[in-house]
Amino acid sequence: MSDSKISALPSVSATADADMLPLVQNNGASLATRRATMAQLRSGILTDRPAHVRDFGAVGNGTTNDAPAIQAAINALKLAGGGVLQFGARVYRIASPIVIDGVTVTLQGAGFTEGPNEAHGTWLKIDQTGFTPFTFSGSMARGSIVRDIAVRQYHNQAYSASWAPTDYDYVFRVQDCLGAVDFENVFLVAVNRGIWCDNSGRMSIKRLRGQVFTRGVEVDRCLDICRLEHVHFWNFNTDNGHVITWQQNNQDALVFRKVDGVFLDDIFVLGARSTLRFSSSASGVTTKFYASNIYADFSKYGVWIDGNDVDGRIANITTQSELFTAGAPVPVAGAMGILIDGSNVRVQIGNLRVDVAESNAIRVNGSNNRLDIFAFRAEYYNRLNDGSAAIHLANVAVGNPNQIYLGSPALLGNGNSGPLVNAATNGFIASAAPGGRVDRPGVMVGSLDTGISQPSTGNLVLSIGGAELMRVAPGTTSIGGAAGANALTVTTPAGSVNQFTLSSSIAGGTPTISATGTDANIPIQLSAKNIAPVRFNSRGSLAFEVNAVATPTNFVRINGTATGAPPQITAQGTDANVALLLLGKGTGPVQAGSPLQLPPFTVATLPPAATYPRCMIYVSDGIANKRLAISDGTAWRWPDGLVVS
């Protein structure tokens, strides 16, 4: 063809691949006609365009098995170095396995209409068992994506109390990819098992919706961070009560085994045995998981941990466990919000609400488990009305007890008066708080300036209205004001085995101060400071005072006695002989309200006169008026002055 104007060329009705076609008629300042064959044009246009399953024989009529055509397309992309495989808005029946191995591909659908059956968009129809529809395998499959596709499975059994789903394998298996395969905007309708990921880290699932019967997602041997966000499992296919009941007893929506640091966010599951299950495999358990916002609706367990040594964090979670066929607030049998069956579990939860638990809102089995919960609310627990506690901690016979730490008081409602924690357990619930200060305690009760604080190591202070009222330190407790300005101090010596007990009384009784302890005989001692006396008041005034004129070595003892014997006031002390002195004040005499009874002696049994100078005795065998005798320090004399003889 000469370099002629296009307008001068003859027209043709059809072209062949070898035909030369004009393209342009200008090349800078000179005029020229550029030419290309049809084959060259087709090659240029089709280079790097996405492959389409229909180019490889896929029909998309819902009856033809399109799996071989899809496999052929993937094989072609493998030869071309990978790429995008497009699915039109049709129903593609998958009746044999498809393997993505040695190639990175994007399975790109045309979106879908949410609903119970195939509608507009791209749908994969699965109605046969015994195979895995899609398997991503090997390191060259890393970076593959499944996007904008819906999956529908069919189950033959009629709805009844014995209904169970057809035992389909996982729709997608990601196996030994050692890296990421992502799922975006995928819809699983009436799917028995959804996505399995093993030995393939960094998997990302975003906008996963549908109704699954046995498993939604299961992950094992994920040694790098994987992410699941915007998961919404709801009764898209059916809300038949038999189906939901089966799910509530058998379906684990998201299962994690050996997984390191999985990120979970915006998870909603309706109708499941467990919404989040952290289990184990031969490779290990889940550690350092992070969950942001979880809503477990009609789920028997919101979180079920049956692996040992699991640890992670949950920011916000709400669980609700009604029996779907009965309605609120009738719980699924055995339902509870958090169930721990493993040991050595460590989980922190920011905000936890548990609604409708058959017995316990939280149950911790195993041993050495610890939960830290900042805010906890339980509504409609203890529905059996058997005294079940909101939190049940198993008693640990061997090993460390279970522990729960609450950051704020639990909010309990409609629990049939069930307690916060069960009795007969060596596990414990405690509330931890910062040290705070007297006027702004760490643990506040009722107001900002009333509560408990820790001003220094080993000291605990109770404040009311910003003022210290009680301080507890090792061996010493002060009550009634700040230490040094308090009203009462209680000290406990090291190795203390004896104590005193203050006891109140009922009307007509008497409050008591008593000594208790391990010793057989325990005295009580009241001590004044320095040289001050000990005083006893009655009727609001001083009635009795104990004082010492010097450092006491001799003292007075008052003895009670048995029936028929008089009480005694005796002199005691370190001296061999201690007199007893009764003094009136000023010129006041010593008076007796009853006759004084003198000690009786006979003439033959008189005590030494020198020992009792100026003392008077009764001589029982004296005659006439000679009955009384007085010692002059040398001899005993009758009242007339004669020596007693």
pLDDT reported for residue 105: 98
Distance in angstroms (rounded) separating the CA atoms of residues 360 and 378: 9
Distance in angstroms (rounded) separating the CA atoms of residues 572 and 578: 7
pLDDT reported for residue 28: 61
Distance in angstroms (rounded) separating the CA atoms of residues 341 and 365: 5
Give the 3-state secondary structure of residue 453. Answer: strand
What residues pair up with 147 in beta bridges, in sequence order?
Answer: 108, 184
What are the phi and psi torsion angles at 356 (to 5°)? 65, 75
Which among 191, 228, 229, 195 has a CA at the least distance from the CA of 210?
191
Distance of CA 289 to CAs 265, 285, 350, 352, 363, Å?
11, 11, 14, 17, 20
* pLDDT by 10-residue block (mean), the chain, 645 residues: 61 67 59 59 56 97 98 97 97 98 98 96 98 98 98 94 97 97 98 98 97 98 96 97 97 98 98 98 98 98 98 98 87 97 98 97 98 97 96 95 93 96 92 76 81 83 89 88 84 82 85 87 86 88 86 88 90 87 88 89 92 92 88 92 89
Helix or strand run (H / E) with residue 247: helix 241-250
pLDDT reported for residue 457: 81
pLDDT reported for residue 527: 84
pLDDT reported for residue 26: 57
Distance in angstroms (rounded) separating the CA atoms of residues 534 and 185: 86
Angle 216-219-224 (CA atoms, 0-180°, nearest 5)?
A: 135
pLDDT reported for residue 22: 62
pLDDT reported for residue 277: 98
What residues pair up with 317 in beta bridges, in sequence order?
Answer: 294, 352
Which among 420, 257, 433, 290 has a CA at the least distance from the CA of 354?
420
